[in-house]
Amino acid sequence: MRDLRITMAQSMLHWEDPDANRRMFEEMTEGLSGSTDLLVLPEMFTTGFTMRSKELAEGMDGPSIAWMKALAAGLKCAVYGSLIIADNEEYFNRGLFVDPSGSVTAYDKRHLFRMADEQDHYSAGKERVVVEWRGWRLLLQVCYDLRFPVFSRSRAIQGRGDYDAAVYVANWPEARRYPWRQLLIARAIENQAYVIGVNRVGMDGKGIHYAGDSACIDPRGEVVEAEPSAVQLVHRTMDGTSLEEFRKKFPVLLDADEFELR
């Protein structure tokens, strides 16, 4: 399995201002073309974590998905982040994985953050989504999903699991930064997979502070992370050969429990 170059875009977000956020990420990623395989943006990267779903939702043919397609084509990489999407008279916090060809894979956030009443403004997703990209199988996740290990548990397939990396995009507050950092590491170790977590920084329109702590963790739990509260691109190469060798040498997934999600 080839290596996969990832870029984590840790940034502040302009509150409920999609145009400003799209311009900001364009400027932030200028010059990145050809140097990465996957660009990961935060959760609700066009608006911040807002409950104004009806007012700010876009359709699947809206400007932000068109922008993601153009960005992916220009950078020659896939782009993953979440947006507020209206679909069949429902509203979703939808993770969107867009490759340079314009192909879009959607994942609707399953676990809605009830402490912010997210369940009153969005519909929960039902499907677990794994997308294949440049030889890697990527599990798409959004923020609060991180607290639910059964949903992200890798299915044992000849000892190697059904995904190679889990990708979490988030608006995870600074007040709970310790659980964020520890749970990312736990997900990597227990699933023998890389884990990518991209979080925002700064203060949102509700006065909530975010420290970022974006990170990429390898299957042994070793961490490469962003500087806390810094706006920056963080680059990491995920080693495909090392991942396969580790799974063969220490095949814990062969002893994993069988289960069924409902």
Which residues form the catalytic set?
43, 109, 143
Of 203, 194, 206, nearest in space to 237 by CA: 194
What six digits make up the tokens of 147?
């607290």
Residue found by looking up tokens 């509203």 in the block: 91
Of 84, 50, 253, nearest in space to 157 by CA: 253
SS3 189: helix
Asked if 227 and 213 touch (Cβ cutoff 8 Å), the reply is no
Cα 33 from Cα 150, distance rounded (Å): 36
Amino acid making up residue 65: I
What six digits make up the tokens of 245?
């060798």
